[in-house]
Chain A
Amino acid sequence: MTDLATPSKVTFAEPPSSPDRRVRRTGTAARRVRSAVTSALKHAGLVLFGFVMLYPLLWMLASSIKPNALIFREPGLIPSDVDLSNYTDGWSALLHPFSRYLINSAIVVLGCVLGNLVSCSLAAYAFARLRFRGRNFWFAIMLMTIMLPIHVIIVPQYVMFSRLEWINTFLPLIVPKLLATDAFFIFLMVQFFRGIPRELDEAARIDGAGHVRIYWQIMMPLALPALATTAIFTFIWAWNDFFSQLIFLTKPDMYTVPIALRTFVDSTGESSWGALFAMSIVSLIPVFLVFLFGQKYLVKGIATTGIK
């Protein structure tokens, strides 16, 4: 609807007509031109801004196709020498082909996404829609759990998971998500659930629906943007999470992408920067695709479902 070509086409197609009609038509055309210009400006702005946002990625892409030695000597955007060996070398540089780390990361990430979607939405429903004793207290406790830096929690956690013999499995990374320990998402969904008009569940209650049905048949579909947000964020954060994966996974065949990427760089000796950039690009692709395709669900909320 903001097609740049439309106004001129309309003008050309115009048959000769009476003066007063023409005035009106010109008025419309002017408005169209104006809106086209605004739209073009807006796009220009967005593109320019997009370039600023994209620069780092372009730079990383450029660096990933430079020979290792040129990355620092010629830091500009246009490579003087193109060399794809960073990709082939990087793929097989570590003990396993890089696909192994991608698969491991995918397993962890899918487990986390599923866990967070189910467990956090259940907890959020209780906080947003149910009345029970100590609700304020538990809500405060919930927020408190995300206020301690991970660095002091990780050692006790390691000890605990070590006792359970969960070290070097994906369990310490996935099970906590199944048990709603990511309070961030509970809070997120509480805020969204509370934005859903209560008339809807009141109506359902009158029809005899219980909380389980309201949760499943009304809240979940209506909170699609919140669920999509949760899924996307969980995906990205788990995909990029270095610290806990480093600590809990000890054998190379269980390593995930972030750990694998770090092992290209050694501050005390030689680093394979080219391979690091190349594999970083490779590991960005799935995340970017998830975001690109997932983001349309962000906008399918109450606004686009049948209920109005």
Chain B
Amino acid sequence: MSSVIQEVASTRRAASERRKGDGRMAALFLAPWFAGLFLITAGPMAASLYLSFTDYDLLTAPAWVGFDNYVRMFEDPRLLTSLQVTFTYVFVSVPLQLAAALALALVLDKGMRGLALYRSVYYLPSLLGGSVAIAILWRQIFGADGLVNQVLALVGIEGTGWVSHPDHALNTLIILNVWTFGAPMVIFLAGLRQIPRMYYEAASIDGAGPIRQFWSITVPMLTPIVFFNLVLQLINAFQNFTQAFVVSGGNGGPADSTLLYTLYLYRKGFADLDMGYASAMAWFLLLIIGGMTLVNFLASKYWVHYDD
């Protein structure tokens, strides 16, 4: 991720010659964040790192066991299952969700009637996303006698219980995640609106049509926001918990087919009272997400355009 910052630094070296003394200002602007980092965030994070090297059942004091928890992870077949489930979930649902969000944002960005209402309606599923009601609703839609199968029956296809079949349950979770595209959509919308109008005006004067304007202005100017959404949705998808918890009834079923990593971690920590192991799992996840994010930042040098 250093590349992003370096890029800024290098492109603007001349302008920043005058501003050598920013350190002090930075300390001022970052003061609340530093306070939060060291007083609120760092302690619990460090504690969880320590706990990952202990046998900790929450009820009695933790006992140091060295790398035991990490070693156990390699021998845990369910952990492997949960990694497979999670990777499938992340790499299928994130691109689909972002594509849906971007497409809708582009359509809704144009001045048209009822825009505010459409935007709000499309955002609604995101408001409902983690509600307990979703469990029942999803059964009603994707169940053996659900809405989807009723529609399929009209065209002569006999469906199955999508939400409860081990081969399909994960797909319904992916659909659920795509369906809650409201958050990235809103960010895209805000991003589209932030593109200075003067660029389009200048392009029009130069005779560029709407399609050229889209590719040469909208797309590059939006890349920082696309990048942001990608990084954040990846991080979020890897940590998704609530939807899988609600839809599977809390256990990642049927037959572990929706056992997302964080769901497994939660069950280990709180249901099985194995918080030491859960902490180790969390730090392993941090390594995965961190690695993924680093790759993202490194790659961003080639496609993300900053105007500053």
Residues of B within 8 A of A118 (CB): 32
> Does more than half of chain A's interface fall in helix, strand or loop, or is it mixed?
helix
Residues of B within 8 A of A165 (CB): none
Q: How far is the CB of B203 from chain A (nearest CB, A)?
A: 14
* Smallest Cβ-Cβ distance to A136: which chain B residue: B2
Cα(A138)–Cα(B36), bound, Å: 13
Cα(A188)–Cα(B225), bound, Å: 8
A70 CB–B CB distance under 8 Å: no
Residues of B within 8 A of A130 (CB): 19, 22, 25-26, 29
Residues of B within 8 A of A277 (CB): 133
Residues of A within 8 A of B118 (CB): 46, 50
Residues of B within 8 A of A151 (CB): 241, 262, 265-266, 269-270, 278, 282
Residues of B within 8 A of A295 (CB): 116, 119-120, 123, 186
Judging by beta carbons under 8 Å apart, are A147 and B289 in contact? yes
Partner of A152, one of B134, B227, B279: B279
> Does more than half of chain B's interface fall in helix, strand or loop, or is it mixed?
helix
Chain A 93-133: CB-based contact to B (< 8 A → 1; otherwise 0): 00000000000000000000000001100110110101111
Judging by beta carbons under 8 Å apart, are A276 and B5 in contact? no
Judging by beta carbons under 8 Å apart, are A298 and B308 in contact? no
Judging by beta carbons under 8 Å apart, are A42 and B36 in contact? no
Given contacts A197-B307, A236-B126, A295-B186, contact A149 B1 (CB under 8 A): no
Given contacts A130-B22, A303-B194, contact A145 B113 (CB under 8 A): no
Q: How far is the CB of A142 from chain B (nearest CB, A)?
A: 7
The stretch among A7-15, A19-27, A177-185 that forms the contact with chain B is A177-185
In chain B between 227 and 249, which residues have their CB closer than 8 angstroms to a CB of chain A?
Answer: 227-228, 231-232, 235, 239, 241-242, 249
B106 CB–A CB distance under 8 Å: no
Instruction: Please classify how large the interface on chain A is, using the bins under 10, 10 to 19, 20 to 34, 35 or more.
Output: 35 or more
Judging by beta carbons under 8 Å apart, are B282 and A148 in contact? yes
Given contacts A132-B23, A225-B193, contact A198 B279 (CB under 8 A): no
Cα(A205)–Cα(B235), bound, Å: 37
Given contacts A151-B266, A181-B41, contact A197 B112 (CB under 8 A): no
Residues of A within 8 A of B187 (CB): 188, 229
Residues of A within 8 A of B128 (CB): 56-57, 60, 284
Cα(A228)–Cα(B189), bound, Å: 11
Judging by beta carbons under 8 Å apart, are B235 and A147 in contact? yes
Judging by beta carbons under 8 Å apart, are B186 and A152 in contact? no
The stretch among B42-50, B87-95, B153-161 that forms the contact with chain A is B42-50
Judging by beta carbons under 8 Å apart, are B37 and A296 in contact? no
Chain A 164-206: CB-based contact to B (< 8 A → 1; otherwise 0): 0000000000011011110010111001101111100010010
Given contacts A125-B29, A136-B6, A145-B45, contact A57 B124 (CB under 8 A): yes
In chain B between 170 and 219, which residues have their CB closer than 8 angstroms to a CB of chain A?
Answer: 179, 183, 186-187, 189-191, 193-198, 201
B39 CB–A CB distance under 8 Å: yes
Chain A 132-157: CB-based contact to B (< 8 A → 1; otherwise 0): 11011011111111111101110111
Judging by beta carbons under 8 Å apart, are A122 and B33 in contact? yes
* Smallest Cβ-Cβ distance to B112: which chain A residue: A2
Q: How far is the CB of B279 from chain A (nearest CB, A)?
A: 5
9 closest pairs, A vs B, by CB?
A179-B36, A225-B190, A156-B44, A132-B26, A156-B47, A126-B29, A123-B33, A180-B33, A152-B282
